[in-house]
Structure 1
Amino acid sequence: MRLNVPVLGVEEAAAVAEVLASGYLTQGPRTAEFERLVAAKAGVAYAFATSSATTGLHLALHALGVGPGDEVVIPDFSFPATANAVVETGATPVFVDIDLDTFNIDATLIEAAITPRTKAIMPVHAFGLCADMDAINAVAAAHGLPVLEDAACALAGSYRGRQAGSLGTAGVYSFHPRKVITTGEGGMITTSDPELADRLRVLRAHGAVRGELYMEFVDAGYNYRLSDVHAAIGVVQMSRLDGIVEQRRARARVLDGLLADVEGARVPVVPEGIEPTYQSYVVLLDQGIDRDEVIRSMARRDVETTLGTYGMHLQPYFRDRFGIGDALLPNSTRAHRQALTLPLYEQLDERDLELVRDALVASIAESRGR
């Protein structure tokens, strides 16, 4: 049983074939259509498709003025692309511990992480569950800082009635195949700030402004565009988005029930007023259970699983460069070692989910018996 399977059909193939037949393969009309659809879903004024969420984060940070000597406050528990985007601007990521219930940045710890060098706050919506954005925005406003949402997993997720990607100064989605919808590779920056939008538009395409006959290069930009081939897939995927998310939520409810009495595994915690996407269904195993052995044991039972995500301070590059100890990030350290991602996607039926439960129970018991 796979960890995730994208929802794709003949419509995506036909959309790609249409683009190939047109001969217009780079950023063009399908990309513009994809951007309009995402902006409308997010409830923002502007959306800019990028070659990945990582390039989107880097581009957004650059457009916000983040550069050498600056600091960006981020959660420690995330895929390293979050911190990599900061490092690639020349700035320093400042790692903050998480709330172990939600796996999101602990908003009560952000204030202490802010220094005169802080240029932005970048929360991550872990596994498609929005961070506590009202609290985060309040701290940011008090210090005059922009908030960039790493909403890679959270397209169609909501926080108190507002869409992920519309909750800060800007947001960034991912369309990697493990995300809710996919374009193969791709990302999207969202914002309602017109000045930021103007800067993103220029920086995304080599720093160029197109005139009547040719382009004029007004900045040192990037080639972070998304092709019409990828965007054509995205347009079709957007028509599937609401159904995919509802199916994921329905299966998460089933798994919640199946796992409620499983000793040693805590099901995902969802605070009131937040609607997650369940991009990943992540349980937290009790201390004393060897999570890595559970992964191996479930694989032997033909059920693919993986860790939740990474405590970045435990990864060699960040550990060696920034030297942050486990004691400063206890929740992230525990989540890195004890969080487990289970299969969840709409192609799974209730019997499949029961098999996931049975494999988890047996694997936990096997791990404890070692």
Structure 2
Amino acid sequence: MRLTLPYLDEDEVREVAKVLSTGYLTQGPKVAEFEEKIANLVSAKHAFAMSSCTTALHLALVALGIGEGDDVLVADYTFPATANVVVQQGARPVLVDVHRDTYNIDVDEIERRITPATRAIIPVHAFGLPASMGDVMEVAHRHSVSVIEDAACALGAKLQAQACGTFGEMGCFSFHPRKSITTGEGGLIATNDDVLAERIRLLRNHGGLRSTFYYRFDEAGYNYRMSDVQAALGVAQFRKLDWILNRRRELASQFSTKLANAEGITPPIEPQDCHHTYQSYVVVVDPAFDRDLVIEEMRRRDIETTLGTYALHEQPFFQKAYGYSSGDLPNSSFLFRQTLTLPLYPQMTSEDIDRVVQALGEALENARR
């Protein structure tokens, strides 16, 4: 059983075939159609499809003018791309611990790490659970710093009925195959700021503005565009989004019910006023059990699992470049070592859930320390 599997059918084939038949394969009308759908979904004035969420995060920093001498606070428990883009801008990523129960950034820790050099905060909506954006925005406004939401996993997630990705100046989404809907590779920036929108529009396409017959290049920009082929996948996938999200939540609920009293396992939580997308179903394995051995035991049973995600301060690059040591951010460090991602995708059945739960119980028995 695979960890995840995109839900694709003939609709995607038809949409891609339409684009191929036109011969217009790069960024074009299909990208514009996809952008409009996402903008309407999250109630954003502007949406810019990108080649990945990583390039979306990078361009968000560029649009804000963040660079050498600036600090950016980044949730430590995340995929390295969230902080790598800060490094690529010559700024310094300041890693911030998270809560053990939600896996999301700890606002009290943000307060402790803000300095006059801080230009921005990048909270992550971990696995599709909204971060405490009201508190994050209050701190950001008080200290006059910008907020870029890493909403890679959070398309469709809401906090008090507001879409993730629309609290800060910009929100960045991913359409990687592990996400709820996919364009193969791809990302998107959403913003309600007209000035930032103009910067993004310019910088995404080599820094060029089209005149009557050709471009005028006002900036040294980037080629961060999504193609119409990718967007065709996205348009077809978007038609399935509500069903996919509802199905993921339904399956996650079954997991949580069946694991509620399981020895050695703590299921994920969904705080009040949060609408979780369950991009991944991530549990905490009690330290009495060897998480990596659980992964190995599940593989022997032909079930793919993996860690939750990474504690950046535990990674060699961040230790070498910024002086972090293992365990400096204890909650993130704990989650890096003890979280486990179980298979979750809409094609799964209740029988599949039962199989995973049974196999997990057997794996835990063989993984006691």
* Common topology (TM > 0.5): yes
Question: Structure 2 regions of 5+ residues with no counterpart?
Answer: none
| 2:294 match | 294
1:213-292 to 2 correspondences below 5 Å: 213-292=213-292
| 2:211 match | 211
TM-score w.r.t. the length of structure 1 is 0.99
Secondary structure (helix, strand or coil) at the match of 2:146 reads coil
| 1:163 match | 163
Whole-Å Cα distance in 2 between the matches of residues 21 and 315 of structure 1? 46
AA aligned opposite 2:208: A
Whole-Å Cα distance in 2 between the matches of residues 296 and 92 of structure 1? 36
* Shift of residue 209, structure 1, vs aligned partner: 1.1
Residue deviations 1:112-147, cap 9 Å, x none? 111111110100000000100000000000011111
Secondary structure (helix, strand or coil) at the match of 1:302 reads coil
Q: What's the C-alpha RMSD, in Å, of the aligned pairs?
A: 0.8
Give yes or no for the alignment of 1:308 onto 2:304.
no
Whole-Å Cα distance in 2 between the matches of residues 313 and 111 of structure 1? 19
Whole-Å Cα distance in 2 between the matches of residues 8 and 119 of structure 1? 41
Whole-Å Cα distance in 2 between the matches of residues 98 and 239 of structure 1? 34
Whole-Å Cα distance in 2 between the matches of residues 86 and 330 of structure 1? 23
Residue correspondences, number:
369
Residue deviations 1:296-355, cap 9 Å, x none? 000001110000000011111112111212343000000000000001111111111011
AA aligned opposite 2:262: V
Give yes or no for the alignment of 1:367 onto 2:367.
yes
Whole-Å Cα distance in 2 between the matches of residues 346 and 208 of structure 1? 41
Shift >2 Å, 4+ stretches: 325-328
Whole-Å Cα distance in 2 between the matches of residues 288 and 319 of structure 1? 27
Secondary structure (helix, strand or coil) at the match of 1:49 reads strand
* Shift of residue 64, structure 1, vs aligned partner: 1.0
1:128-207 to 2 correspondences below 5 Å: 128-207=128-207
| 1:57 match | 57
Secondary structure (helix, strand or coil) at the match of 1:147 reads strand
TM-score w.r.t. the length of structure 2 is 0.99
| 1:328 match | 328
Q: 2:314, 2:327 within 8 Å by CA — same for their partners in 1?
A: no
Secondary structure (helix, strand or coil) at the match of 1:306 reads coil
Whole-Å Cα distance in 2 between the matches of residues 143 and 212 of structure 1? 44
Q: Identity over the aligned pairs, expressed in percent?
A: 52
AA aligned opposite 2:294: V
Whole-Å Cα distance in 1 between the matches of residues 289 and 70 of structure 2? 40
1:39-78 to 2 correspondences below 5 Å: 39-78=39-78
AA aligned opposite 1:291: R
Whole-Å Cα distance in 1 between the matches of residues 266 and 59 of structure 2? 37
Whole-Å Cα distance in 2 between the matches of residues 61 and 237 of structure 1? 28
| 1:90 match | 90
Whole-Å Cα distance in 1 between the matches of residues 161 and 24 of structure 2? 38
Secondary structure (helix, strand or coil) at the match of 2:367 reads helix
Q: 2:173, 2:189 within 8 Å by CA — same for their partners in 1?
A: yes
| 2:27 match | 27
Secondary structure (helix, strand or coil) at the match of 1:209 reads strand
Q: 2:78, 2:309 within 8 Å by CA — same for their partners in 1?
A: yes
Whole-Å Cα distance in 2 between the matches of residues 248 and 265 of structure 1? 20
Secondary structure (helix, strand or coil) at the match of 1:110 reads helix
